[in-house]
Structure 1
């Protein structure tokens, strides 16, 4: 019988990743690395989630001991890269102010604005049918989802007004669609090298990238050298697309809709954990999320779930969960960042958290009135940067990307520069991927097609980068009708998922559900 080799949890693999993480976050791991190497310990897999061979019992026990020793090493970056929200705010002198317009009181919600009495809603939320329609509520709860009183703020580039429900609804649908399109575009080339992506696209005349990847016309010898992503190609190449297949980049926004519906805007990190245990299949988690899930099952409480033997705590997983926090706080990037922080700290620390709050704040700004139009992507990104500690590695990476896009016309040159600068980072790490997302959006001036194609063509975590770029650029278009049909038609307004009862839901229905969790003045 072939043994099960579960990815992202094998101690001998985690140790190699943690040694690399220590080098990046200001610890000195050389003595521990020498002990591991002298014992015959393997390096971390470069791209796969697990090494092919199981290590000996001795090496596995040694790896666990060394993981704990690495956790105790002091970091020279501790002061400039905190995880606690209060310390992050103390470093961010221009942390955005909460808007001064009156917030809607708890219980008076966007749901009421759409003709659904807010008190007539189930704690289990609406049931979503296989055809993507919403069924009637089956219970009642107040939800308690209204925005709290305005908090004091210390900065902000300018205050924006949240849109009316009628204005926000089409933008939400465009954001959901954009997220799905960008994700699907990147799926067949996930895990592939930058060279492989360029060669595959060029072989079909699709470079610079402007449309879906296809296997039609690719020379067999090129496919043999650079095969498509094995799991994704059957549902994501142009000739195979039939609706939006399941992906964690869409599963987490669905979970966060449930989170807001069940626990309200003031949810806790423990609420996130409880929801995951109730609704998220363990096999649908990866990297930091899988480690945190395992930690929960062994009795470890948040936020220690993010730290215990978790070398992926600065990877991209928290970033891909940030969109709903931005979508449901239009014009209030501070609130979006605070929500994203409570979500992210279940699984991530420092720069992994910063990536999530940066994206949430950027999206909240993009969702405000006055942010439609390609020129405003630059303002949105500057707003997002206000919630990132200025001396952190992520802030430096984002600023590096912004300098490159301001100075360099050719996007391939920008990508090459980024890959050179972050060659020592894993392809799923938040720092290089966030820099690439920023470069793609700003170099494209927020144009939808250009944004998602640049994000995917830059490599690394292609489906996640495409999804985030698509969400932001889609939101900025203002309407699903503004998205080209060649991107949206193949999705057939249908999303596959294993989350709750969402399987088969349409993106128009998701926009309505998101609007219900959005306060309005």
Structure 2
């Protein structure tokens, strides 16, 4: 909500900042701009606070970077902290239709899934568990091969999106077309791309050395893989009955603070300041409806084959550490859709339908998913789908917000109709949070493929059956080993 783009921050004399640390996604003067935008999306009237902020010399939040320069002077930073608290006190008119509590969410979902094997409601496209001859009250078991394909799919989709993360849509299209790779069917490359185009649209600085066709050597570290590893650790230590506090303690023990971003970084800082969950998700956290919880949901779905309700409830306990409302729904939707895919008894469209059943139908998240599906069905060319979604969201939502990314993910999966290459290629080609969308699309498409050898070799061979991570005990672990460990948790009562 850059309502005052002509305003510039007040500058005051300050000593030189040689060797200063300017932490991203954490500076109060940046958080205010993000919270003002979130307030507008929620329908909260923050006009008076917005005017005070800009009158004092405050600036809008950065459009793409995680931090602005230069730092705000002390008086402006102090004002930012006060305004964040005032913004949090404004009631949201969307709260009744977008609750965060699980009981309230379930009460709003008329087609909330029953236990595995329960009778389906009319019009439900999700196959009932028990169709393979197992007792009706048991979900079908997920196979090691299917989980192996899911891990590989998640890694490949993430890696495809890494070099173009943060790039604008026209830059992604131009780079791929210049390499003869549009629509996307293989990795991004510098080969054949004119130097002036590379200068105009530089690759993601941190990712390019390890994520272009000519530089890939195994799966490099990424939060989209770190969080599934942490979820696996969580289940190994605490089982399915883990609490949100268990997850918080695990993060403090195993997750380096510098490997967190947006809502996760704010919640981590809140934990260090003594804030208890779930207040960690709300306190001065303008990123609480961004994509972070959605990227943490996979293992919850993978380990609940045929049980979308159980997967969604488990993902909810994870998500509320850092997110509220639509941010939580992203995790629940993804976990439920993946749980159905893990059972191997549905197509991609049934998986998406199952995900919608655990999301309040009048929420903005549900509307985003429906928009993505409907737009994909209406347009023959996916570029036209993306253009329509960007017209709907690009001017009002940050590129990491969950809503535009959810719409794009649903559109890509619908348009690809289960094809693995198209699933990850379309998800990444739409821009926004490219590595996260590619990862989730690859996870679901990998489950539907059912086995590693069902995935095209040009996506899996460069991964070299290993990933890099700062999560203790997992660096250079093979995806086959991760599948075996995940399979153990899926079989645990």
Partner of 1:505: 477
What is the CA-CA distance between 1:158 and the residue it aligns to? 4.0
1:36 to 49, 53, 63: 53
Partner of 2:93: 76
CA distance in 1, matches of 2:139, 2:479: 20
Q: Do the aligned residues in 1 keep the contact of 2:420 with 2:442 (CA within 8 Å)?
A: yes
What is the CA-CA distance between 1:98 and the residue it aligns to? 1.0
CA distance in 2, matches of 1:385, 1:514: 25
Q: Deviation per CA, 1:28-50, whole angstroms, max 9, x where unpaired? A: 11110000000000110000000
CA distance in 2, matches of 1:189, 1:458: 11
Q: CA 1:154/1:348 → structure 2, altered by over 3 Å: closer, same or farther? A: farther
1:430 to 384, 392, 402: 402
Q: Deviation per CA, 1:452-502, whole angstroms, max 9, x where unpaired? A: 000000000000000000000001000000001100000100100000110
Q: SS state of the match for residue 265, structure 1?
A: helix
Q: Deviation per CA, 1:291-310, whole angstroms, max 9, x where unpaired? A: 00000000000000000000
Q: SS state of the match for residue 343, structure 2?
A: coil
Q: SS state of the match for residue 347, structure 1?
A: coil
Q: Do the aligned residues in 2 keep the contact of 1:45 with 1:51 (CA within 8 Å)?
A: yes
What is the CA-CA distance between 1:160 and the residue it aligns to? 2.0
What is the CA-CA distance between 1:361 and the residue it aligns to? 0.2
Check if 1:387 corresponds to 2:358: yes
Check if 1:56 corresponds to 2:31: no
Q: SS state of the match for residue 491, structure 2?
A: coil
Check if 1:3 corresponds to 2:23: no
Check if 1:327 corresponds to 2:295: no
What is the CA-CA distance between 1:402 and the residue it aligns to? 1.1
Check if 1:205 corresponds to 2:180: yes
Partner of 2:111: 94
Check if 1:280 corresponds to 2:255: yes
Q: Deviation per CA, 1:1-29, whole angstroms, max 9, x where unpaired? A: 23111000000000000000000012111
Q: SS state of the match for residue 147, structure 2?
A: helix
Partner of 1:148: none
Matches within 5 A, 1:286-365: 286-365=261-340
Check if 1:463 corresponds to 2:413: no
Partner of 1:113: none
Matches within 5 A, 1:143-222: 157-161=126-130, 168-222=143-197
What is the CA-CA distance between 1:163 and the residue it aligns to? 7.2
What is the CA-CA distance between 1:240 and the residue it aligns to? 0.2
What is the CA-CA distance between 1:369 and the residue it aligns to? 3.8
CA distance in 2, matches of 1:188, 1:325: 28
Q: Which moved more, 1:62-71 or 1:403-412?
A: 403-412
Check if 1:411 corresponds to 2:428: no
Q: Do the aligned residues in 1 keep the contact of 2:113 with 2:358 (CA within 8 Å)?
A: yes
Q: CA 1:63/1:48 → structure 2, altered by over 3 Å: closer, same or farther? A: same
CA distance in 2, matches of 1:520, 1:325: 13
CA distance in 1, matches of 2:127, 2:342: 14
What is the CA-CA distance between 1:407 and the residue it aligns to? 1.1
CA distance in 1, matches of 2:139, 2:483: 14
What is the CA-CA distance between 1:520 and the residue it aligns to? 7.0
CA distance in 2, matches of 1:356, 1:238: 31
CA distance in 2, matches of 1:160, 1:409: 34
What is the CA-CA distance between 1:368 and the residue it aligns to? 1.1
Check if 1:21 corresponds to 2:38: yes
What is the CA-CA distance between 1:164 and the residue it aligns to? 6.3
Q: CA 1:292/1:153 → structure 2, altered by over 3 Å: closer, same or farther? A: farther
CA distance in 2, matches of 1:182, 1:444: 14
Partner of 2:7: none
Partner of 1:477: 449
Say what the alpha-carbon RMSD is for the aligned residues. 1.5
Tell me how many residue pairs correspond in the alignment. Answer: 466
2:226 to 251, 257, 273: 251
Q: TM-score, normalised by structure 1?
A: 0.88
CA distance in 1, matches of 2:255, 2:120: 35
CA distance in 1, matches of 2:51, 2:62: 18
Q: Do the aligned residues in 1 keep the contact of 2:303 with 2:489 (CA within 8 Å)?
A: yes
What is the CA-CA distance between 1:508 and the residue it aligns to? 0.2
Partner of 2:133: none
Q: Do the aligned residues in 2 keep the contact of 1:160 with 1:365 (CA within 8 Å)?
A: no
Q: Do the aligned residues in 2 keep the contact of 1:326 with 1:367 (CA within 8 Å)?
A: yes
Q: Do the aligned residues in 2 keep the contact of 1:446 with 1:473 (CA within 8 Å)?
A: yes
CA distance in 1, matches of 2:70, 2:238: 43
CA distance in 1, matches of 2:323, 2:491: 28
CA distance in 2, matches of 1:27, 1:272: 31
Q: SS state of the match for residue 332, structure 2?
A: helix
Unaligned runs of 5+ in 2: 1-17, 131-137
Q: Do the aligned residues in 1 keep the contact of 2:140 with 2:306 (CA within 8 Å)?
A: no
Q: Which moved more, 1:396-405 or 1:234-243?
A: 396-405
CA distance in 1, matches of 2:21, 2:385: 41
